[in-house]
Amino acid sequence: MNAPLLWVVVPLASGLLLMLLSSHQRIMKLTALLICLLLGLVALLIPINSMIIFGSQTSLVFTDSLNILGRQLILGRNQQPLLIFLFMLAAFWILASLTVRTHRFQISVLMMQTGLSIGMISVRPLSFSIYFILLLTILPMPILQVQRESDSSGLMRTMLSQILGVTFIGVAFWLMNAVSLNIADTMLTQRTILMMLIGFIFLLGIFPFHSWLVMLMMRYPSFSVGFTVSLQQFSVFYLLLKILNEYTWIRTYNELYRGMVAIGLVMLLFGGLMALFSTFPKRLFAALVLAENGIVLVAIGMKSERELTAAMTLLVLRLLVTLVWAYIDQTESDAQQAHAEALLQGEDPPPSLIDLSAVRLLVYYILAGMPLSLAFPEKIALLSSLSTISPRNSFLLGTGMLLLLVSGVHLYRRLLAGNASIPTKKKFSPGILIAVLLLLALGVFATFVKSGIALLLAPFNAILS
């Protein structure tokens, strides 16, 4: 038995095979849900590199590596908490898809994306991780092309940005090998760091190369694009942490950390201003994602265990908030579509959903950092730590966070003004209520969540030491 075979190849193969069940959506979704739960359960119960004994004479060694075309996929015990989280995240998305309309191949693609994300974590040499991220991002594009709400320029920009990002980081990896042989060459070191930063700027949608991310989140259904965007952003930041953990000379290059803090502050302020002038919920959430990228970069650039924990906490919270936001958006879209279809067929329209503006605002503030949310203590601690190092940067960080908080109220007032007539027959989705309550519970049980975050950071012992 082999860990990469189980957690990388099986999700990829099952995603392909589930396409055969695309005409039976409920069976396909339940099968995918069962596979994710089983894979997550195995990651929880069976340690890698252990012996599984069947009866008195039969045993099976659960190995940690797999060789494919001269490359290795290696998973260690300290990565099993992340495997559990990723499969549970995929299971939550599949569970949510049972109550909303989705493309018939979306769950199959989701399974393959989960396998690719774990492939990115496990592949050796590290330079091949970027190709897994590229595949993860472009895999759902045929589905998005069919579901687009306007022209397909968002997909073209996304593909171009990802290819450019992969190209620059690929060149940076090539230069890293040369730097490792001659660390004293400062010119080569600076070129390598510059190439790497440019690559991450493209992949993360950092200003001024942010338009692909905004267009992707605004012009395509949130439930279709939410998993891709959130997992891609998480994978890119995870790759950055892996690079810092593996290359000692990069980890000790202080200019890189100062650059990350500067880029992060610019991104936070830009995202905050963009959120302030947003007129649509989708644009507001896209601005929040851009701003959160900046906050995470600042946290990583602080170069301490406390801030690294804050960065991972915010990344995990963003994955969950994106799921709930996309679920709310898709539920509302389905209700509007069902109402329109009933009117076209001359039938009585079904009960309409109550106005979800307040729920959207609450979900937005859970990630933006309202009190009692999981993000609030992390952002306050980050602000406090930065104030002891650079009061100016701390002021800029606080200004950006304040812009995000003000922007939510600003848009909410506009949404209320546009909802003058509400149907008399109203209903509320219990799934939305449960999802929002679970997000709020993360802040209540923050101590328990922090212990899980510490397990996710276990592979980065070189950074933490």
What is the mean pLDDT, run by run of 10 residues, along the chain of 465 residues?
87 92 90 94 87 68 81 88 94 91 90 94 89 92 79 81 92 86 81 90 86 87 89 94 88 87 92 87 89 93 89 94 91 75 67 71 89 90 89 91 86 60 56 88 89 90 75
Whole-structure pTM value: 0.92
CA distance 138 to 232: 10
Q: What angle do CA 13, 14, 15 make, to 5 degrees?
A: 90
Q: Which pair of tokens denotes residue 24? A: 């039976």
How far, in Å, are 320, 447, 454, 462 from residue 300 at the CA level? 21, 21, 15, 14
CA distance 353 to 331: 9
Strands (E) across 216-331 are located at none
CA distance 226 to 224: 6
CA distance 198 to 192: 10
What number of residues does the chain have?
Answer: 465
Q: What pLDDT, on a 0 to 100 scale, did the predictor assign at position 41?
A: 94
Q: What pLDDT, on a 0 to 100 scale, did the predictor assign at position 345?
A: 72
Q: What pLDDT, on a 0 to 100 scale, did the predictor assign at position 136?
A: 92
Q: What pLDDT, on a 0 to 100 scale, did the predictor assign at position 355?
A: 65
Residue of 117, 114, 120 whose CA lies nearest to 14: 114
Contacts of 150 (CB under 8 A, 6+ apart): 219
Residue of 177, 132, 179, 174 whose CA lies nearest to 8: 132
How many other C-beta atoms can be found within 10 angstroms of the C-beta atom of residue 94? Answer: 24
Residues 241-263: tens digit of each pLDDT: 999 988 888 888 888 888 899 99
Q: What pLDDT, on a 0 to 100 scale, did the predictor assign at position 50?
A: 79
Q: What pLDDT, on a 0 to 100 scale, did the predictor assign at position 324?
A: 92
